[in-house]
A and B are shown apart, each in its own frame.
Chain A
C-alpha cells in the first residue's frame, strides 16, 4: 500500500510542473499591458514606466521570470495582485471559504437527494418512478446552470419574494467578523438573532443551482451501481435467509453499491469548481470563481495565474485522495 501511495503521489508531480508551465505561458500571452491597465489612459513618463516594469520584474528574461515564479510557488508565494497589491494566496484564502461553503452545501444537497432517489429508482426498476427519476436526471445533467439560476431568481426571489437575490448575508442588518469564513457558522457564533436564517436564505438558491448537475450524476450512478449489486449472489443469499427487504437493500446492497458512487462524488470537484464560477457570477457570491472572472477583466496576471494554479491544485489533490481512498476500499486494484 505504501509503495502504491508513493508511486501515485510521485506521478502527480510532473502534472504540477506542467501546470506551472502552462499557467505561466498562457498568462504571459494574454493581450493588454498590465501597467497600462493600472495607470489608465493618461499615460506615464517613460522613466516611470521603466520603474514599474522593473518593480514587477517584467523587464527580465522570460525564463528567469518563470524560474522566479516556480521558486515562489514552491515557497508558497503565489505573487502579488497587481490591482489590490495584496498577496494572491491571501486573497484566495480569504475568498475560498465562501466557495467551499457553497460547494459543500451543493454537494450535500446532491448526495442527500441523489443517493436515495437513485436507490429507489433501482429498486422500482422499470416503473413510473424509475422513468421519472431518469428523465429528471437527464434534464439536470443537461442543464445550462446559468439559466437555471436566472430562472430560480425570477421565480423564487422576484415573484414569490422568498429568498434574497445576491450576496451571502444581509449586510445592512448584520455584521460580524469572519471567524471560520463559513457564513453559516460565523452567523451562529455572532449571536445575532436572525443572522443564521439570513445566511441560510442566501445560500439556498446558489446551492440548488450548483448542486443540480452533481445531483443528476449521483442519482444516475447510484441507480446503475445499485442495479448491478442487486443481481449479485450475496444479495440473493441475504434475501433467501429471509432478511427484510429494507435490510437487504439498505445494508447489504447499498454498502457495496456506494463504492463507485463515492468515487464519482470525489470526481465532481472539477465540475463543482467550474460551476462555482457561473453560480458565483449570477448570485454575486464573493468567492474565488467571481474573483477569477474579475481578474481577467482587470488583467491581473498574478491573480489569474495564482488562482488557476490553486484551483487546479485542489482538483489534483482531491482526485489523488479519491484514488487512494478507492484503492484502500478495494484492494483488487492495488495488485492489478
Chain B
C-alpha cells in the first residue's frame, strides 16, 4: 500500500524506480505533475509508455474485473445522459398539465397509451418526462453536494492536519457535533433555518456529509506527513501551501475519491427524503422525493404515481453504490471488504 501510493516520477526522468532515494527526490521535483489516479508506480510496463496512462489503464483493468461495478457505471452513464439531454428525450414539458388525461395509467396497463408511456399524475402531467427531468435535479444535487463537500473537506482536513493545535481541535470538535446529530434531523434543522428550497437542500446535505470528507483527508494527510518524501520536500524548502496541496494532497486522493462516489448516492437519498417531507424542492419542481410526497392519497387509484419515482431513486442509488464499491476495490485495496 505504502509503495503503491508513492507518486511516480515523470516519464522524462530516468526510470530508476528501484532506488528509493532517487524516487523521493524526483517526487519533489515533479510533484506538480503527479496524477491523482497514480496507483502503480513500480509496475510501469515499458519505459516509453507515459506513467499516467499506465495508471489509468491499471485502474481500469482492476475496475473492469468487477462486473457489478461496470453495470453500475453503465446505468449511471445512461441516467446522466438522460439528465443532460432531458429536453430532447422527454416527450412532454414536465410541468405541462393535460387536463383530459388525469391519472392515466402506464402504457402496459389497461387504458394506457404511448402518448404517456409511464402514465400521468394527479394533475395530468406526463410521469416519464417528470422522471427524466427529475434525474437532472437528483444528480445535480448529488454532484453539487459532493463537489462542495470535497472542496471544503480538503481545505478543512488539510488545515487540521498541517496546523494541528487549536485549528485541529476546533475543526474536529465541530465535526463531532455534526456527526452526533442524526443526519436527517440535522438536515431538517438547516432547512428550517434557511427555508425550504432546492439550493438550501444542497447546503443542508453538504453540512451533513462534510465530516466524513474532513476526517478522511485529515487522516490520510496525517499518515502521509510522517513519510520521507514529505520531509524531503520540507528540507528542499517547499512552501507550506504547495506542500499541502501539491505534494501531499495527491497521495490522499484514493480514499477521498471512493468516499466521493458513495457520497453522491447518500446525498441523493437525503435530498429525496427532504423533498418527501416537503422541506426540499418545492412543487411543481419534478424532484423525485417531492413527487412522492403527495402520492400517498393515490395509493389505491393510481399506484404507478407512488411506485415509479421511488423506483427511479432506488435504481440510481443502487447503480452509484455498485460503481462506488468497484472504485473502492480498484483504487484502495486496503478498504476492500472481503
Contacts and interface: CB of A to CB of B under 8 A. Distances in A.
A144 B173 contact: no
Interface in B319-338: 321-322, 325, 337-338
Contacts of B310: 144, 147-148, 150-151
B315 to A, nearest CB: 9
A147 B193 contact: no
B277 A308 contact: no
B259 interface: no
Given A142-B314, A142-B318, A273-B185, A150 B173 contact: no
Interface stretch (B98-106, B111-119, B288-296): B288-296
Contacts, number: 131
B74 to A, nearest CB: 16
Per DSSP, are chain A's interface residues mostly helix, strand or loop, or mixed? helix
A18 B173 contact: yes
Nearest to A228: B338
A290 to B, nearest CB: 11
A76 to B, nearest CB: 19
Given A274-B182, A315-B182, A316-B180, A224 B317 contact: no
A22 interface: yes
Nearest to A28: B193
B314 A312 contact: no
B223 interface: no
A188 interface: no
B177 interface: yes
B290 to A, nearest CB: 11
Interface of B: 173-174, 176-177, 179-185, 188-190, 192-193, 195, 265, 269, 272-273, 276-277, 279, 289, 292, 295-296, 299-300, 303, 306-307, 309-310, 313-314, 317-318, 321-322, 325, 337-338
Interface of A: 14-15, 18-19, 22-23, 26-27, 29-31, 138-139, 141-144, 146-148, 150-151, 153-154, 158, 220, 223-224, 227-228, 270-271, 273-275, 277-278, 281, 292-293, 296, 304, 308, 311-312, 315-316, 319
27 contacts: A15-B173, A15-B177, A18-B176, A22-B177, A31-B195, A141-B321, A144-B272, A146-B276, A147-B276, A147-B306, A147-B313, A154-B303, A158-B300, A220-B337, A224-B337, A224-B338, A274-B185, A277-B185, A277-B188, A278-B277, A296-B192, A296-B279, A308-B181, A308-B185, A308-B189, A312-B180, A312-B182
Given A144-B317, A146-B289, 8 more contacts: A22-B177, A144-B269, A271-B182, A273-B182, A278-B184, A278-B273, A296-B192, A315-B182
